Amino acid sequence: MLIPLAMGGMLAGCTGPLSTLAPAGPTAGSIASLWWVMLAGATALFALVMGLFALVMLRPDWARRISPGRWIVLGGLVLPAIVLTPLLVFALLTGERLLPRLAADPMRIEAEARQWEWTFRYPAAGGAETRGVLHLPAGTPVDVVVTSTDVIHAFWIPRLAGKIDAVPGHANVLRIEADRPGTYQGLCNEFCGVGHTGMRFDVIVHPAVEFPASLAAAAAGKVQP
């Protein structure tokens, strides 16, 4: 009874605008599925170990009949392998799906980090630029080219994709896609100085047909994000 209550209490804290368990895109959905599968595997392994522990405590004569070598092989190798091998296979398959192979020529957006703000540039939109707000079209894969001008930062939009480092003098590429229009939150997830906690940005996802006009208006300062 206590274990379900404890798990329920922990999961209650996994909500909100930065929750990876409320995915709004295919990449974030794969990451959330992996998390749930790993949680199920960890729970199963814990239950098996606790079951063996209870059996040993309740039936000590039975436990003494098993040699130490068999305990090591069965309990230390076979039991974990039964649970961990399927989890490893699932994790590898999920990782393959996260690789950016779905679109031959996706839109590219440049994300530049500096202490303590983000600048976004849109080469396909005539070099439009926004600060503190990333604009995306819904249902469209986008490659975000992430770099930094000073120290190492990390680009992360929990509800849309995993995180990637922003490294000075180097460009890392992260593919993201939002399922539907809406407003999301992103942040730097690498400690980068005294202003780290405030280094966040908004993500506004527009309907694909409205994206060019909305981006042009935002870059020109005609609308407030």
Q: Report all structural domains of the chain as residue ranges with CATH numbers, in order of start.
A: 17-98 (no CATH), 107-219 (2.60.40.420)
Q: Is the pLDDT of residue 147 over 90?
A: yes
What pLDDT band is residue 90 in, cutting at 50, 70 and 90? confident
Position 97 scores a pLDDT of: 67
What CA–CA distance (Å, rounded) separates 139 from 107?
Answer: 12
User: Which runs of E-coded beta strand occur in 2-137?
Assistant: 107-114, 117-122, 128-131, 133-137
Half-sphere exposure of 46 (CA within 13 A, CB side): 7
Using 50, 70 and 90 to split pLDDT, how confident is the model at 1?
very low
Residue 72 reports pLDDT greater than 70: yes
Q: According to the model, what pLDDT value does residue 203 have?
A: 94
